[in-house]
Structure 1
Amino acid sequence: MGLSAQEFRTETDLLGDIKVPTDAYYGAQAARGMENFQISGQYINDYPEFIKAWGMVKLACAKANTDAGKMKPEILKPIEEACNELIQGKYIDQFMIDLYQGGAGTSTNMNANEVLANIALEKAGFQKGDYKQISPNDHLNMSQSTNDTYPSSLKLGMLLYNDQLIEELTALTKSFRNLGHTNIDIVKMGRTEFQDAVPMTVGQEFHSFAAMLEWDVANIKHASESLLVMNLGGTAIGTGLNAPEGYDEYVVKHLKQISGYEVHNAEDMIAATSSLQGFVVYSSALKTLATTLSKISNDLINLSSGPRNGLFEINLPPRQPGSSIMPGKVNPVIPELMAFVSYRVIGNDVTVNMAASDGDLQLNAYEPVVGLSIFESQKILTNTMQTFRLQCIDGITVNEEVHKRNLETTIGIVTALNPVLGHHMGDELAKESKETGKGILELVREKKLLTEAQIEELLAPENMTGLDKSKYKNK
């Protein structure tokens, strides 16, 4: 089927004419980006909060230009309407450039400029592509460069996604706290190097998982402050070329009001344009969370192993048949998923570090892969933590009889008896237990070393595990 005037309009850029679908709000440069970068099948519109961030940044820029006397109020009005619609989640389908793109994000910036210009044109009663009235470059990109708006939009988008991530991480933490409260009095054997160590309670173990994640909440919140540092008004390399006096102050003031975040410009705008330090700091915090989630996931896999020839201390909710050949087998698919998503996040952090270290001179052209890596990490962590919580953690049950039997038979219980029996007697009991297969408590009773009352007192959770329920009361 051939092209027709009804289906396409012709736009012109530096390289010449290009056909753009008549109903498209994007223009020539976005169309070229769509042609040039057909790489991953992951597109800008896979991350709607990033597009929302562009609407916020462009609105702040337009208002700042008006404050500085550079943009006419009658031009600001339709641009403001267009930006607000983008912020509301409209026109997401107009951002179809692959996230894998060269050019330091120029294609994405121009995609935003063209879409907003064409929306504004229609608001003002003009036709799409009538850029003499409202221009993607002269108006939507006024006092700007990709080199200050792109990283700023990335950071703002990450802050928006970070709110969702923190919310889900906090919910997951609460689920572990609930398990901790429910199982606080069930005594079990703690293990070091996969060997029986000393007693603890099941609740203490789950509370420890919650504490690890709470540390990550604090770490991520702190790291996200690095995303508040912008370089808006620095334009191409941080010198502010083409930006009017006062613009850099106006633009962050407006962006703070529009976004609700305490954004501010860096003291050294050249450094802020050249360095990706804020992204590195934040990505590192995501990596740290990933290592915690992987550790917890693998602990749950071990604790639920068996069910008869493993530890079998807890039961994970069954989610699907585990084998095409072995009847009755159910695998820990949800913790496995959480673990390998964590591996991906750790790999994304490596990518961020490599890209940040290889940026040349006054601009890092590898910002797109940094943005892609962090957005992906945020998305898959948030989604998988929700799945982990709803499909696994909230359905965990504890095998109390297994823990009771383990305590009766383990050699490790001898450590709890040391204060009364002494270390030497403990060694003798441990040795005999290994040789005979008898449990420590069985030998203690057989040799009448302690009365039942003494055994009961020594094995009380608060005496054997250092349990202090008050420390968990408000958790």
Structure 2
Amino acid sequence: MNNRKEHDLLGDETLPDTAWYGIQTLRALRNFNTSGVPIHQFQDLINTLTMVKQASAEANHELGLLSSKKTNAIRQACIRIREGELHNQFVVDLIQGGAGVSTNMNANEVIANLALSIMGHEKGEYQYLHPNNDVNKSQTNNDAYATAARLSIVLSTQTLTHALSSIKSSFEKKAEEFARTPLVKGTHLQDTATKMLGSEFADFAASLKEEIVNIQSACTQLCATNLNSTSQYQTNSVHPDYTKSTIKHLTHISALPITSDKESSDNHSDMEAFVKTSAIQRKLAIKLAKICNAICILSNDPRTNFNEINLPITQAGSSLVPGVVSPVIPEAVSQTAFQVIGHDVTVCMAAEAGSQQLNAMEPVIIYNILNSMKMLSSAIYMLNHRCIRGITANSPPIQLNIPDSRMLAALMPDLSYGTHPLNHLSSAAANTSPMKTAV
């Protein structure tokens, strides 16, 4: 295997010639082995990193700061990566020190070496096109990485909102299907009055529709970027039109409504947009867990003769007892929800840890939000396709005890609260005869 040498301020290092990344990525690989989750597990983040780099190159060229030859090579390299090339070269662990510098440099080096290849040069021949001086021109990690991270979350929400819209439609269809099927309402796990089973599913649909709106609102804030932050940190002046030009090109490349957030420092310190997004994920997780809990109770309620609804049978529920079937899909979704709630706790703690004008904990914030997005999307898809769509109403058991509940409701004005109404029905319960007969 052929090797090549690269140099940085710490000295020389040898890299295998098969590596499209460079020396700074190599050092990050040695330094950070925390989550075991490299960048390439999140394709949206790779894509948005290349969008930001391409937009910056286009802006620098437009302002006369980057040659046509270099700009064309960077543009082609970014497009090819978004088409799927070299994703396995984005190798740095998502949780890292340095506020995301290593992720930014991993992108710079892979793009630079692919651009060099397009120009007819060898990897590492940075005298022709440099990762820092050219690919990262007019940027700092604080704007390039932060912007790419924000936009990767926006792209990830598209999968989540699609999953939510799909399961909402499934709930709405079940609401229509069960519109005439009676159901005993319950509070404190006790029977109260009656309603229609369809209304329960309609409530689920309405609850999730609200979360779709919340996610879309968060995306608007995430699309407000801080690409102007470079000028706050670099001693050499940045072209005054750089931000405007970059946002114009980034909007075109990403097809997202990018705006400049000049007044806010949330990308650096308090992470407001990220905290809000994580809170929305937590809220959605709580709703999903609540829905799953309700579904499990509906499928096995002892007061109304069991099984008001039937869940699809997906697998055996016991390795010991034959014939046992458990609500494994809702259980798995609830566990996913619990994990997402834990992710939100981490995001809140990391946001609080921001100091002065920078939050060095941003990588763990991005890691947890992207993980939550991925887990929620997968869980909702699983719940919809493996459970909700196959639910049926177990109408005879529901009908059996509906008259009893209505009878209790009708008699309540005449029954004293000093005597539990079921005391009047003890003999009926002992003989398992219908409640209305005992009355």
Please report the TM-score for the alignment, with normalisation by the length of structure 1: 0.87
2:248 is aligned to 253
Q: How far does residue 71 in structure 1 lie from its aligned partner after superposition? A: 1.2
1:414 is aligned to 408
- 1:283 is the counterpart of 2:278: yes
- 1:183 is the counterpart of 2:178: yes
- 1:318 is the counterpart of 2:313: yes
Counterparts of 1:85 and 1:189, CA distance in 2: 58
- 1:226 is the counterpart of 2:221: yes
Q: Indicate how the Cα distance of structure 1 residues 400 and 7 shifts in structure 2: closer, same or farther if over 3 A, else same.
A: same
Q: Please, which of 5, 8, 11 is the counterpart of residue 3 of structure 2? A: 8
Counterparts of 1:389 and 1:233, CA distance in 2: 42
Q: Indicate how the Cα distance of structure 1 residues 205 and 27 shifts in structure 2: closer, same or farther if over 3 A, else same.
A: same
**Partner amino acid, structure 2, of 1:219:** N
Q: Indicate how the Cα distance of structure 1 residues 307 and 34 shifts in structure 2: closer, same or farther if over 3 A, else same.
A: farther
Higher mean Cα deviation, 432-441 or 62-71? Answer: 432-441
CA contact (8 A) 1:408 1:439 kept: no
Q: Indicate how the Cα distance of structure 1 residues 269 and 125 shifts in structure 2: closer, same or farther if over 3 A, else same.
A: farther
1:434 is aligned to 425
Counterparts of 2:236 and 2:220, CA distance in 1: 27
**Partner amino acid, structure 2, of 1:44:** I
Q: Please, which of 312, 336, 358 is the counterpart of residue 363 of structure 1? A: 358
**Partner amino acid, structure 2, of 1:81:** Q
Q: How far does residue 387 in structure 1 lie from its aligned partner after superposition? A: 0.9
CA contact (8 A) 2:285 2:338 kept: yes
SS at match of 1:300: helix
Counterparts of 1:261 and 1:23, CA distance in 2: 35
Q: How far does residue 336 in structure 1 lie from its aligned partner after superposition? A: 0.4
CA contact (8 A) 2:269 2:351 kept: no
**Partner amino acid, structure 1, of 2:425:** K
- 1:157 is the counterpart of 2:147: no
- 1:166 is the counterpart of 2:167: no
1:424 is aligned to 414
Q: Please, which of 344, 347, 351 is the counterpart of residue 346 of structure 2? A: 351
CA contact (8 A) 2:304 2:401 kept: no
CA contact (8 A) 2:228 2:262 kept: no
- Equivalences, count: 434
Higher mean Cα deviation, 429-438 or 94-103? Answer: 429-438
Counterparts of 1:443 and 1:426, CA distance in 2: 17
Counterparts of 2:302 and 2:2, CA distance in 1: 63
CA contact (8 A) 2:171 2:204 kept: yes
SS at match of 1:233: helix
CA contact (8 A) 2:266 2:273 kept: no
**Partner amino acid, structure 2, of 1:10:** K
2:69 is aligned to 74
**Partner amino acid, structure 2, of 1:130:** E
Q: How far does residue 269 in structure 1 lie from its aligned partner after superposition? A: 5.4
Counterparts of 2:101 and 2:295, CA distance in 1: 45
Higher mean Cα deviation, 200-209 or 430-439? Answer: 430-439
**Partner amino acid, structure 2, of 1:223:** A
Higher mean Cα deviation, 14-23 or 277-286? Answer: 14-23
Structure 2: which 5+ runs fail to align?
A: none
Counterparts of 2:287 and 2:237, CA distance in 1: 47
- 1:337 is the counterpart of 2:327: no
CA contact (8 A) 1:228 1:262 kept: yes
Q: Indicate how the Cα distance of structure 1 residues 441 and 60 shifts in structure 2: closer, same or farther if over 3 A, else same.
A: same
CA contact (8 A) 1:52 1:87 kept: yes
Counterparts of 1:319 and 1:151, CA distance in 2: 42
Counterparts of 1:156 and 1:253, CA distance in 2: 15
Counterparts of 2:364 and 2:420, CA distance in 1: 61
Counterparts of 2:234 and 2:18, CA distance in 1: 38
Counterparts of 1:65 and 1:240, CA distance in 2: 18
Higher mean Cα deviation, 430-439 or 321-330? Answer: 430-439
Q: How far does residue 443 in structure 1 lie from its aligned partner after superposition? A: 5.7
Query: Which digits, 9 at most, give the CA deviation of each residue in 1:182-224, with x for residues without a partner?
Result: 1110011111111111110111111111111111111111122
Q: Alpha carbon RMSD of aligned pairs, Å?
A: 2.2
Q: How far does residue 38 in structure 1 lie from its aligned partner after superposition? A: 1.8
Q: How far does residue 424 in structure 1 lie from its aligned partner after superposition? A: 2.3
CA contact (8 A) 1:233 1:243 kept: no
Q: Indicate how the Cα distance of structure 1 residues 238 and 220 shifts in structure 2: closer, same or farther if over 3 A, else same.
A: farther
SS at match of 1:24: coil
SS at match of 1:130: coil
CA contact (8 A) 1:430 1:440 kept: no
Query: Which digits, 9 at most, give the CA deviation of each residue in 1:19-42, with x for residues without a partner?
Result: 111022111011111111122221
CA contact (8 A) 1:45 1:92 kept: yes
2:262 is aligned to 267
Counterparts of 1:391 and 1:235, CA distance in 2: 48
Q: Quick one: percent identity of the two aligned structures? A: 36
- 1:59 is the counterpart of 2:54: yes
CA contact (8 A) 1:41 1:98 kept: yes
Counterparts of 1:46 and 1:36, CA distance in 2: 19
CA contact (8 A) 2:275 2:348 kept: yes
2:288 is aligned to 293
SS at match of 2:15: strand
Counterparts of 2:404 and 2:422, CA distance in 1: 13
Counterparts of 1:73 and 1:243, CA distance in 2: 19
Q: Indicate how the Cα distance of structure 1 residues 76 and 264 shifts in structure 2: closer, same or farther if over 3 A, else same.
A: same
Q: Indicate how the Cα distance of structure 1 residues 443 and 306 shifts in structure 2: closer, same or farther if over 3 A, else same.
A: closer
Please report the TM-score for the alignment, with normalisation by the length of structure 2: 0.94
SS at match of 1:127: coil
2:381 is aligned to 386
CA contact (8 A) 2:427 2:438 kept: no
Higher mean Cα deviation, 316-325 or 111-120? Answer: 316-325
CA contact (8 A) 2:231 2:238 kept: no
- 1:143 is the counterpart of 2:138: yes
Counterparts of 1:93 and 1:105, CA distance in 2: 18
Counterparts of 2:231 and 2:332, CA distance in 1: 42
Q: How far does residue 408 in structure 1 lie from its aligned partner after superposition? A: 2.8
Q: Please, which of 371, 380, 383 is the counterpart of residue 376 of structure 1? A: 371
1:243 is aligned to 238
CA contact (8 A) 2:305 2:401 kept: no
CA contact (8 A) 1:9 1:21 kept: yes
